[in-house]
Amino acid sequence: MADKKILVVDDDSKTVELVRLYLNRDGYRVITANDGVTALRLAREEHPDLIVLDLMLPGIDGLEICRTLRDESGVPIIMLTARTTEQDKLVGLDLGADDYVTKPFSPRELASRVRAVLRRLSEEAFEHGPREINYKKLTVDFHKHEATLAGRPLDLTPIEFKLLGVFISEPERVFSREQLIEKVMGHDFDGFDRTVDVHILNLRRKMGADPTQPRYIRTVYGAGYKLSETNNDP
């Protein structure tokens, strides 16, 4: 992972330099920004492998940056937030963030989160599996990192793609939230179970389903989720 490029965005220059120091020690190439406008420009021009994004920024705030980038790419995003309630964290996850770190934070912990996100989103997780899996009208190409439904490309975040990959690898199998966290986010994930619910809700939306009547990703109450097509056409 030493060739990975990380964009660090925070309006506090001391925080940026401290995070840069720790990520440089891990061998990452680090670019930085102190405001939202610069952050968005660098994200588009430099194509970083991961973004560490503060929520409270001058110009454009972190939530708006996350929302904009999710319309353009699937770059992994770790949000920095001083807000500690579960609902505040869910807002960022609902926009497509892959992880969050609350302030004040340990730069060592943040560096560990960066490693964990890059590791679990790596295509190496699929390299020993099949290149492509088809289920009904759904196709997942693990080598190209592409998914389609009835021929329509699905614009998925890395977490959403991995979730879909887990489901399509074993259709009709029920996965608990804990199993999905371990398979998709890693056993060292330090979050909460509802994180899975948010990502699955976003996945259902992108598959064109009414979240209250999902056609593919079904809820098995008291057990978890499974991939199972209903009789409705997508």
What is the per-residue pLDDT across 112-141, written as a single tens digit (0 to 9) for each? Answer: 989 888 877 664 444 545 678 888 889 998
Please report the pLDDT score of residue 117 as a whole number: 85
Quote the tokens at residue 87: 């609902």
Q: How far is CA 18 from the centre of its chain?
A: 24
Q: Name the amino acid, one letter, at 143.
A: H
Q: Name the amino acid, one letter, at 68.
A: T
Concatenated DSSP letters for the chain?
Answer: -TT-EEEEE-S-HHHHHHHHHHHHHTT-EEEEESSHHHHHHHHHHH--SEEEEESS-SSS-HHHHHHHHHTT----EEEEES--SHHHHHHHHHTT-SEEEESS--HHHHHHHHHHHHHHTSGGGGTTS-SEEEETTEEEETTTTEEEETTEEP---HHHHHHHHHHHHSTT--B-HHHHIIIII-TT--S-THHHHHHHHHHHHHTT-BTTB-SSEEEETTTEEEE---SS--
Domain 5-121, CATH: 3.40.50.2300
SS (H, E, C) 3-46: CCEEEEECCCHHHHHHHHHHHHHCCCEEEEECCHHHHHHHHHHH
Are 19 and 52 in contact by the 8 Å Cβ rule? The answer is: yes
Are domains 5-121 and 124-227 of this chain identical in fold? Answer: no
Quote the tokens at residue 215: 């056609």
Q: How many CA atoms lie within 13 A of 100 on its CB side?
A: 26
Domain map (residue ranges) of the chain: 5-121, 124-227
Please report the pLDDT score of residue 84 as a whole number: 65
Spatial distance between the Cα atoms of 161 and 125, rounded to a whole number of angstroms:
12
Q: How far is CA 106 from the centre of its chain?
A: 21
- Give the pLDDT of the chain (234 residues) as one tens digit per residue: 457 899 999 999 999 999 999 999 988 999 999 999 999 999 999 989 899 999 889 989 988 999 898 888 778 999 988 776 667 677 777 777 888 888 888 899 999 989 888 877 664 444 545 678 888 889 998 878 899 999 999 999 888 998 999 999 888 889 988 888 877 876 445 555 678 888 898 899 888 866 566 778 999 988 899 998 764 444
CATH architecture of 124-227: Orthogonal Bundle (1.10)
